[in-house]
Amino acid sequence: MAITTAKATTYHNFIDGAWVPSVSGDLFENRNPANTDDLVGVFQKSTAVDAQHAIEAARAAYERWRLVPAPRRAELLFRAAQLIADRKDALAHDMTREMGKVLAETRGDVQEAVDMTFFMAGEGRRQYGQTVPSELRDKFAMSIRQPLGVSAVITPWNFPMAIPSWKIIPALVCGNTVVFKPATLTPLSALNFVRILEEAGVPSGVVNLVTGGGGEVGNALLVSDDVRVVSFTGSTDVGRTVSEKAAPTFKKTHLEMGGKNVMMVMDDANLELAVEGCLWGGFGTTGQRCTAASRVVVHEKVYQPFLDAFVERAKALRVGDGLDPGTEVGPSVSEGQRETVMKYVAIGLDEGAALACGGHALTSGAYARGFFHEPTIFADVAPSMRIAQEEIFGPVVSVIPCRSFEEAVAIGNGVEYGLSASIYTQDVNRAFAAMRDMYTGIFYVNAPTIGAEVHLPFGGTKSTGNGHREAGTAALDVFSEWKSIYVDFSGKLQRAQIDAAEI
């Protein structure tokens, strides 16, 4: 497509405290997925050279930033949190325009960034280590958290400000510097976030923003020796590449990837509550959450009434432009994402699942210029079908019948992912058993699989994550490493690990 920059603002990279164009001279467009006539902005299509400049700036700034006392670093972050809160409406508006999810959700996204920033800034006065007794007299033993150095932050488009905040704020409070590569579909929210950090007084070089593709910019960050930690959220396929590319330089690698989350509706569930939960869990954010409830396993005794009510509610969902306050479900983020949805609808039909509602792209009238798709429910899905196994990242929910609690747990665990799961039941024993037995990083009782709060660890098992967690104080473990310190004040050589030490 020819680039028309006439009316749109051209945005720059942020490197070493200056807003600069890419050395490539190339640009890319950011268009509104609800209406592609609306050009949101034009951004730098950066190269490995731009990434290298950002790494160098971050490396130089690290030598100063790591020595700024953590409570002082935190002061800047508290200021940033307040600025984000003050501008919530405008930030949410920009986000809906570039990403499509409804305003209530983009406001929630911005609020998550506020919450995370306030929460993490508080860690400027904690970042607790340990003090322990020494084996020897006249000696102290303790451990402290140390920053790692330059952090690469590579983020997805579905939570354009929340997820960057989950990574950048803990990186900064721990004393690291950052090179930030946001998804090419949502560069404006990333830029808005960085502008606020700049305004809050974060010094030059401490946070750098480089927009552009993963092949160029992302790759340069991953192979650089100077980058010591990378935090990535995105698809499992890309996560595998990130992991492989980061391995030769022994970076710490935090990966947060796909999901195929399950809601288990038992025969004693409050069905009305379960239907509401599945609706919000399945179709919220147009199903484009890694925590989305894309599988619903329902006990056979309540299967039909549940399905009927769920389908009725899904059919009534108002699909449209997220900027319209009446809209409940926005568009897919891109044509490619909608094509994936359509591909999986075809796969589901092919596999013999029963299409209970939806199943079509919405392409006429007010929908003509966007990437809209009907909320879609497949019923009578077998657990082994691809629509019940693979992440779709769109408004498609698979409903799977089961005969018992045990079967529900087995089906729930029977996927390659392990992010979030939930059970609807009135039986406290089942709730606790499921809480223990679901092999996921997050678990809900009588609530949908979405809605994690910033002060608890977030992440998953198996192909969802690689053992680290972000959010909560768990994020400190990604962005710091331990140093053990021994202080001998005896004035003589006390020999450790010698048997029969003097008592």
Which residues have a catalytic role annotated?
256, 290
CB 177 within 8 A of CB 149: yes
Q: How far is the CB of 153 from ligand UN1 (least distance, A)?
A: 14
**493-499 LR contacts (CB < 8 Å, sep 24+):** 494/136, 494/137, 494/138, 494/139, 496/135, 496/136
Strand-pair partners of 250 = none
- Nearest CA-CA partner of 191 in 423, 376, 30: 30
Beta carbon nearer to ligand UN1, 269 or 450: 450
Q: How far is the CB of 289 from ligand UN1 (least distance, A)?
A: 3
Beta carbon nearer to ligand UN1, 148 or 161: 161
Beta carbon nearer to ligand UN1, 405 or 443: 443
Query: What angle, rounded to 10 degrees, do the helices at 271-283 and 303-315 form?
Result: 50
Task: Tell me the CA distances in angstroms from 210 to 48, 113, 151, 216, 381, one per residue in order.
Answer: 10, 20, 13, 11, 43
- In degrees to the nearest 10, what's the CA dihedral of 494, 498, 502, 503? 100
Beta carbon nearer to ligand UN1, 36 or 446: 446
Q: How far is the CB of 254 from ligand UN1 (least distance, A)?
A: 14
CB 5 within 8 A of CB 21: no
Q: How far is the CB of 9 from ligand UN1 (least distance, A)?
A: 28
In the block, residue with structure tokens 């704020």: 169
Sites of contact with ligand UN1 (CB under 6 A): 112, 158-159, 289-291, 450-452
The residue type at 71: P
Beta carbon nearer to ligand UN1, 87 or 455: 455
Q: Which residues contact 246 (CB under 8 A, 6 or more apart)?
A: 222, 230, 253
Cα–Cα distance for residue pair 469/441, rounded to 1 Å: 9
Q: What are phi and psi of 203, to 5 degrees?
A: -65, 160
Beta carbon nearer to ligand UN1, 203 or 451: 451
Task: Tell me the CA distances in angstroms from 358 to 137, 176, 290, 373, one per residue in order.
Answer: 73, 47, 22, 8
Residue 379 DSSP symbol: E
Query: What angle, rounded to 10 degrees, do the helices at 428-437 and 405-413 form?
Result: 20
Beta carbon nearer to ligand UN1, 61 or 91: 91
Q: How far is the CB of 336 from ligand UN1 (least distance, A)?
A: 18
Q: How far is the CB of 84 from ligand UN1 (least distance, A)?
A: 16
Beta carbon nearer to ligand UN1, 122 or 451: 451
Q: How far is the CB of 454 from ligand UN1 (least distance, A)?
A: 8
Q: How far is the CB of 251 from ligand UN1 (least distance, A)?
A: 22
Say whether 180 sits in a helix, a strand or coil: strand
Strand-pair partners of 31 = 39
Q: How far is the CB of 288 from ligand UN1 (least distance, A)?
A: 8
Beta carbon nearer to ligand UN1, 30 or 158: 158
Cα–Cα distance for residue pair 12/27, rounded to 1 Å: 10
Q: How many other CB atoms are there within 10 angstroms of residue 462's CB atom?
A: 18
- Nearest CA-CA partner of 122 in 83, 70, 168: 70
If DSSP states are collapsed to H, E and C, what string results for 19-63?
Answer: EECCCCCCEEEEEECCEEEEEEEEEECCCHHHHHHHHHHHHHHHH
